[in-house]
């Protein structure tokens, strides 16, 4: 069977130890990204198996209809970017390891790095030196500041001890169920959502993007922040109402934003208003982009491919497709 790996922009996967799992199979790796559905379909038409690089490519119904040879889509994690119904109708299996059994250290580490970079204005200080100048203003220490973690999940729980090592006080907010779990674990829960935003020197967002959580951070939430507040998002851009961050920055209701996620990715527009804002630190969705993380994740993805080829598929999301395929 012909296997294709999409969106491996830096040709990273072939250099990982786990790539040996696919040794002996016909594997093609594409390092670029194709948005046009017809162009993408023409590229993918010869292949039996698609390996997705997270959610970088959307597997939509119009695309699926043009891929008569496709038998398997293998990936890891959430699969909102894959049209499950269309896959099932075409007898295409989706295999995805969705259990949270991998420690999300890399995202938690980047979160802390962005907090530090924003507090000390590291990118701005670097740019100033490269312009032939010296110090640019005064930074802030993490010690004694308050970190507000929005979302009581695995990543936020890793960020908490990192922040506490620097002497930060940590408070929590999120869904009613999440707040209840945090409270039962002895965490600090403010009296209200408004108190959470107004009490936090740094607000860091750690929530999965679903239909229920989309735009969970409202424009009005920034009515309770100030110029001393830093907003960090290493989760998903869709969790924040469109334009809310820029509006808050430009109106003086937010001091800085440190962002690893954007509504449209990848961004190649050098004039993007967020990229060019003097009080925004941007990274190109690199929260999970470490060799260690890739090795853990893609070992599962590659094993799913081999299992399918050997007639023993596992981590099957749409088992009804099996009836059409086998």
Question: Which sequence positions are flagged as catalytic?
Answer: 236, 265, 285
The tokens of 283 are what?
A: 């990274």
Distance separating alpha carbons of residues 291 and 52, to the nearest angstrom? 17
Secondary structure (DSSP) of 68-80: TT--EEEEES--T
Least Cα distance to 315 among 76, 51, 89 occurs for: 76
List Cα–Cα distances, 137 to 133, 254, 275, 277, 287, in angstroms.
12, 18, 21, 17, 28
For residues 244 and 225, give the distance between their C-alpha atoms in angstroms, rounded to a whole number: 12
Q: From CA 222, how far away is CA 200, in angstroms rounded?
A: 12
3-state secondary structure at position 2: strand
Contacts of 101 (CB under 8 A, 6+ apart): none
Q: How far apart are the first and last CA of the chain?
A: 16
Asked if residues 235 and 262 have their Cβ atoms less than 8 Å apart, the reply is no
Pairing of strands 146-150, 72-76: unpaired
Beta-bridge partner residues of 80 = none
Distance CA 208, CA 42 (A): 33
Asked if 51 and 31 count as a contact pair (C-beta separation under 8 A), the reply is: no
**Torsion sign across C-alpha atoms 155, 229, 180, 237:** negative
- Residue 203 host element (H or E): strand 202-205
């Amino acid at each position: 069977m012909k296997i294709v790996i999409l969106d491996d922009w830096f040709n990273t996967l072939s250099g990982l130890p786990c790539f040996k799992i696919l040794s002996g199979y016909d594997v093609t790796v594409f390092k670029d990204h194709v948005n046009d559905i017809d162009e993408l379909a023409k590229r993918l038409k010869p292949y039996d198996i698609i390996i997705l690089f997270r959610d970088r490519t959307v597997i939509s119904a119009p695309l699926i209809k043009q891929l008569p040879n496709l038998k398997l889509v293998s990936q890891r994690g959430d699969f909102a970017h894959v049209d499950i119904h269309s896959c099932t109708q075409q007898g295409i299996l989706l295999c995805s390891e969705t259990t949270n059994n991998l420690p999300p250290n890399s995202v938690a580490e980047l979160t802390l790095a962005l907090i530090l970079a924003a507090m000390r204005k590291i990118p701005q200080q670097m740019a100033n030196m490269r312009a032939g100048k010296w110090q640019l203003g005064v930074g802030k220490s993490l010690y004694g500041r308050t970190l507000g973690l929005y979302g009581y999940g695995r990543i936020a729980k890793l960020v908490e001890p990192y922040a506490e090592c620097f002497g930060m006080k940590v408070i929590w907010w999120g869904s009613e169920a999440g707040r209840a779990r945090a409270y039962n674990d002895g965490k600090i829960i403010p009296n209200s959502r408004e108190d959470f935003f107004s009490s936090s020197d740094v607000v860091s967002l750690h929530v999965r993007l679903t239909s229920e959580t989309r735009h969970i951070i409202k424009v009005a939430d920034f009515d309770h922040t100030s110029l001393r507040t830093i907003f960090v998002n290493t989760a998903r851009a869709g969790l924040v109402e469109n334009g809310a961050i820029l509006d808050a920055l430009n109106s003086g209701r937010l001091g800085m934003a440190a962002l690893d996620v954007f509504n449209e990715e990848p961004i190649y527009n050098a004039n993007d208003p967020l990229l060019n804002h003097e009080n925004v630190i941007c990274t190109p969705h690199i929260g999970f982009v470490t060799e260690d993380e890739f090795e853990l994740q893609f070992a599962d993805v590659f094993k799913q491919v081999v299992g399918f080829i050997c007639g023993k598929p596992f981590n099957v999301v749409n088992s009804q497709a099996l009836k059409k395929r086998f």
